[in-house]
Amino acid sequence: MIGGGSAGYHAASTASSAGLRVGLIESAERFGGLCILRGCMPTKTLLRSAEIAQLVRESDQLGIRSSSPRVDWPAVRQRKDELVEEFASYRQVSAEKLANVEIICGRAEFLGPDSIEVGGQVLNAPKFAVTTGSEIAIPPLPGLEDVGYIDSDEAQTLDRLPESLLVIGGGAVALEFAQLFLRLGVAVTVVQRSAHVLSGMDSAIGIALAGYLEREGMTVVTETDILGFERAPDGRKQVRVNTPSGERTFAAQEILIALGRRPATRGLGLDRAGVDTDRGWILVNTRMQTSNPNIYAAGDCIGPEVGPLQVVHTAVQQGQIIGNNVAERKPQEFDLRVVPQAVFTDPSVGVVGLSEVEARDRHSSVIVAQETFEDQGKALTMGQNKGLVKMVADGVTGELLGVHVLGPEAADLIHEAVVAMHYRATVDDFARIPHLHPTLAEIMVDPAEELAEMLAMPAPAR
C-alpha cells in the first residue's frame, strides 16, 4: 500500500484481516493523510470556533443578550493543533497495531510491474495499491506569484488574521474558508469563474447559498475571467477580472487560492508499472484495478470514471474494496451512484445522486420537487431556517435519483437519502417512512409526498 492516508490505511486493515502480509508505505513526516493533518478534521475544528462566534452575534434573536465576541486566533489555532495531534497519534498507533502490517517510511517508486524502490531498498510483491492522495493545485495566473498568496494549508497556520481576504474559487474548500474568516472578523470577497458557486452541484444549492453568504456580509462575484494580479497603490493585493458588466478590480490584504487539487502521482514511475493515467489521475475500474490488474488505486489520486471525488468516506470505501479484492474474496465493486457529498458552510450542504440537469440528461422522464426551511417548525425554534431540500426522481418509476439539502445539519440529514437510494427506494417509499416531530428531518417528507402525488396523477392529454 503506497500511501498511509484514509484509503491506504483501510486497504491495509482489510487485507491484513484476511491474513495477508502488508507493507504500508508513508512518505510524509506525520501519519494520517490529508483528512487528519490538513483537511477534514482541522478545518472543521476551526469552523466550529467561527460558528460559536456567529451564534454569539445572533443570540439576541433568541433573547440572550451578549456583547460582541472577541476572537482569540492563536487560541483557536492551538485547539486545532492539539486535536490534529491527537487524531494523528491515534491513527499512527492504530496502524502499528494492525496484524501482519509493516509500516515503511519513505517515498516509493515503481521499478517495474512487480517491484518498487523505497529509500534504496527494492521491494517485490504480487500486488500493489497506490493511495498517494492529492496535492494543492495552483494554476499559472498572470501576476499571482509576484503578489504572493496563501493556500488552504497555509490559511490554517497564519500567525495573525488579515484585515481582508480575496478568495479565488467557489468550491467547497473556498466557501468553507471564506465563511470561516468572515466570521472571525475578516472582510471577505469570493471571486468565482462559473455562473454560481458550487458549480459541480445542483444550481439551486449554489445560488441560494451565495445569497445567504452575501446577507452575512460576504461579497460574492461570479461569472468572472481573471485578467491578472497586481499590487494596489495602497499596497494591498488586487485582482482584475472581466465580468458580464465589464472589467472590475477587487483588492485585499491577502489572497487565498482555492482552485482545486491534483493527483500526487508525480515521480511514482507509474508508466514503468504499466499503469495508465489521465493528466496524472490514475484510471481504475469499479474493482479499483488499474490497467495493470495487479496494481490497484484509490482515493484522491484516481479518476475520472470512479473519481476524483476527493472525499474521505469514498477513499475509505475504496480502500476497503481493494483490501477485499487483493485477498481474492468475493469481488466487490465501487458504486458511484450513491456517494454523498457535503459542504460545511452555514447553512451546510448535503448532496447525494444526480442534479436536476444530470438527471434530465440521463433519463427520459424526470420530476422535481423543492421545499424550503423558511416555515419548517424545528428550524424556526432553532432560529436556523435558511435553506431548502430538492428531490429529483424518475418520472416513470418514482425511484429517487438525487437529493440536495441546503440547511441546518444538512450533512447529517442527507444520510437517510443515502440509505433510501442505496436500496433504490421510490418517492412513495420515502414518503411513507414515519419521521419524528419536531425534527429537522421532517422536511424530507414534504418533497417526497409532492413527487408521489405527481406520479399518482394521470398523464396530461396530448
> What burial class does residue 394 get, using C-beta atoms within 10 Å of its C-beta: 0-12 exposed, 13-18 middle, 19+ buried?
buried
- Whether 459 shows a pLDDT value over 80: the answer reads no
CA–CA dist 451, 45 (Å, integer)? 38
Beta bridge partners of 105: 26
8 A C-beta contact, residue 443 and residue 384: no
Nearest to 287 by CA among 297, 275, 278, 276: 297
Residue 437 bears catalytic tag: yes
Q: Which helix (H) or strand (E) holds 136?
A: strand 134-136
Question: Whole-prediction pTM value?
Answer: 0.95
pLDDT band of residue 462 (cuts 50, 70, 90) is very low
Q: List, for residues 125-146, the tens digit of each pLDDT value.
A: 999 999 999 999 999 999 999 9
Q: Which of 313, 363, 404, 437 is catalytic?
A: 437
pLDDT band of residue 30 (cuts 50, 70, 90) is confident
Q: What's residue 460's pLDDT? A: 53
Close Cβ partners of 461 (under 8 Å, ≥ 6 residues apart)? none
pLDDT band of residue 458 (cuts 50, 70, 90) is low
Q: Among positive and negative, which fits the CA dihedral 288, 291, 294, 300?
A: negative
Q: Which helix (H) or strand (E) holds 248?
A: strand 246-252
pLDDT band of residue 32 (cuts 50, 70, 90) is confident
Cα-based distances in Å from 146 to 135, 167, 258, 259, 388: 22, 17, 18, 18, 42
CA–CA dist 62, 65 (Å, integer)? 9
- Whether 306 shows a pLDDT value over 80: the answer reads no
Higher-confidence position of 406 and 462: 406
Q: List, for residues 406-441, the tens digit of each pLDDT value.
A: 999 999 999 999 999 999 999 999 999 999 999 999
Q: List, for residues 201-241, the tens digit of each pLDDT value.
A: 999 999 999 999 999 999 999 999 999 999 999 999 999 99
Ordered by where they begin, the domains of the chain are: 6-135+262-326 (3.50.50.60), 144-259 (3.50.50.60), 341-456 (3.30.390.30)
DSSP-derived 3-state class of residue 129: strand
Q: List, for residues 233-292, the tens digit of each pLDDT value.
A: 999 999 999 999 999 999 999 999 999 999 999 999 999 999 999 999 999 999 999 999
